[in-house]
């Protein structure tokens, strides 16, 4: 049995059959295949076929009921965000009242920092990873400036050891034990967008809170990718987008987690708006806010219904499958793809080799990353993405990627780089 036949066999016998038929798979942009092998779900997930129905139903209610759809629609808009509450709670390991669907990721981070970044005395620092996504860097720097602080002194960027690509958990903890009395906020990415490293969130959260810091997580590349237990880990807050692994569409409504101990604290400062008041009295139009004892207290505006509908379509799929089953398949697919890349000259794997330290993303360093991505698409219909100058990212998302896709990507990379295996 050759490698291609083995990939077909693995797809046929995997404990979790692919849900590829539940998604619109784009046509292959090149090569002899009809469908693309899509490895860019860490940038934009594929469209669930059910998303159109969810959106169309809201458009129909809008045309049929107009303003009355807020209370008389098939899914009334006035509390539409409630439909995402329990699925989101299951997805990130939270209690239902600890999560809310709202805004976009960076907006939510700013709303969280408006509450939880309270620099005082010697405790002013914000700690992020040096390879944080640029939006996070911009956000924390602007928060420092907003408080009258110099971001060059206030924002600490943790770097891997010399010659290494990943932050070691013990180095993060060591910094917190030595310098934690200066740290007001620790804000790291649960899965690093560039390298695909999965951080030890429970251990780092414990160390951050022991140091007296507030601990928040950017879960843009973790939500829908790896199992999370935010409540049990005692995380203070977290935020995530929903257009990557959650397949909810470009710019889709994001999600936010606030631990219940904070939700119960009415004295916490917040940037408030209409939807952050108690829904029981919201339409009494009082000038004073009465926040509920939940993550809803951080809402500002009513949810955009047409943008939230695809989120619900996607969460329906995640609820049906479950994150533990998806994680197990992710490890099988990512491990298989990693094996296909072994021995390729001119290719350096940046993502940790240990499956427990990565999600479903492999980042590789190659010369001319953008050119490699273009050739993969043109010659084999393999869609990946590049991060300049030399990183190609491939994400075998387990909902719709297959072992056959992984075999195809490995063969295409070998051919594209025009190299031979060692030996």
Query: Is residue 338 over pLDDT 50?
Result: yes
Q: CATH code for 54-319?
A: 3.40.640.10
Show the CA angle centred on residue 122, arms to residues 118 and 126, nearest 5°.
50
Could you tell me where in the chain the CATH 3.90.1150.10 domains are found? 3-35+322-417
Average pLDDT on 307-316 reads: 98
- Nearest alpha carbon to residue 298 among 98, 90, 139: 98
Which pLDDT value is given to residue 421?
Answer: 39
Average pLDDT on 80-85 reads: 97
- Strand-pairing partners, residue 363, are 393
DSSP letter at 26 equals P
Decide: 114 and 269 in contact? Cβ < 8 Å.
Answer: yes
Decide: 392 and 372 in contact? Cβ < 8 Å.
Answer: yes
| pLDDT band (50, 70, 90) for residue 417 | confident
Average pLDDT on 27-40 reads: 95
Distance, CA of 409 to CA of 244 (rounded, Å): 20
- Nearest alpha carbon to residue 175 among 135, 208, 217, 143: 208
**What class has domain 3-35+322-417?**
alpha beta
DSSP letter at 47 equals P
Q: For the chain, what percent of residues have pLDDT higher than 90?
A: 92
Distance, CA of 335 to CA of 338 (rounded, Å): 5
Whether the upstream peptide bond of residue 389 has omega within 30° of 0, thus cis, is: yes
Query: Is residue 293 over pLDDT 90?
Result: yes
Average pLDDT on 33-43 reads: 97
Decide: 266 and 293 in contact? Cβ < 8 Å.
Answer: yes
pTM of the entire predicted model: 0.95
Could you tell me where in the chain the CATH 3.40.640.10 domains are found? 54-319
Span 66-81, pLDDT tens digits: 999 999 999 999 999 9
Decide: 131 and 194 in contact? Cβ < 8 Å.
Answer: yes
């Amino acid at each position: 049995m050759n490698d291609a036949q083995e990939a077909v066999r693995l797809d046929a016998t995997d404990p979790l059959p692919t849900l590829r038929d539940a998604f619109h798979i784009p046509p292959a942009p090149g090569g002899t295949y009809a469908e693309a092998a899509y490895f860019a779900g860490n940038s934009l997930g594929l469209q669930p076929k059910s998303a159109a129905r969810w959106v169309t139903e809201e458009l129909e209610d809008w045309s049929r009921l107009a303003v009355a759809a807020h209370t008389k629609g098939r899914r009334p808009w006035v509390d539409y965000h409630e439909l995402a509450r329990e699925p989101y709670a299951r997805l990130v390991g939270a209690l239902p009242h600890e999560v809310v669907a709202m805004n976009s990721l960076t907006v939510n981070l700013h709303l969280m920092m408006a509450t939880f970044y309270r620099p005082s005395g010697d405790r002013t620092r914000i700690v992020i990873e040096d390879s944080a996504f640029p939006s996070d860097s911009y956000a924390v720097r602007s928060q420092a400036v907003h408080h009258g602080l110099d971001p060059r002194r206030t924002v600490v960027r943790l770097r891997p050891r010399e010659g290494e690509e990943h932050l070691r958990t013990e180095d993060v903890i060591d910094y917190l034990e030595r310098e934690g009395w200066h740290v007001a906020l620790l804000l790291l990415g649960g899965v690093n967008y560039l390298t695909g490293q999965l951080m030890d969130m429970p251990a780092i959260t414990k160390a951050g809170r022991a140091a007296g810091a507030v601990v928040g997580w950017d879960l843009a590349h973790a939500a829908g990718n790896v199992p999370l237990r935010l409540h049990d880990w005692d995380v203070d807050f977290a935020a995530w987008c929903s257009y990557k692994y959650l397949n909810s569409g470009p710019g889709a409504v994001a999600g936010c987690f606030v631990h219940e101990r904070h939700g119960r604290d009415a004295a916490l400062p917040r940037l408030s708006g209409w939807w952050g008041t108690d829904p029981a009295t919201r339409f009494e139009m009082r000038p004073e806010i009465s926040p509920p004892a939940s993550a809803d207290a951080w809402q500002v505006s009513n949810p955009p219904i047409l943008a939230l509908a695809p989120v619900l379509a996607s969460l329906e799929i995640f609820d049906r499958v479950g994150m533990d089953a998806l994680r197990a398949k992710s490890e099988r697919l990512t491990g298989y793809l990693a094996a296909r890349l072994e021995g390729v000259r001119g290719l350096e794997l940046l993502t940790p080799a240990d499956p427990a330290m990565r999600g479903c993303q492999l980042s590789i360093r190659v010369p001319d990353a953008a050119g490699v991505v273009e050739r993969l698409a043109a010659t084999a219909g393999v869609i990946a993405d590049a991060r300049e100058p030399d990183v190609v990212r491939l994400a075998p998302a387990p909902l719709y990627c297959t072992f056959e896709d992984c075999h195809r990507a490995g063969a295409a990379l070998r051919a594209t780089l025009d190299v031979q295996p060692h030996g």
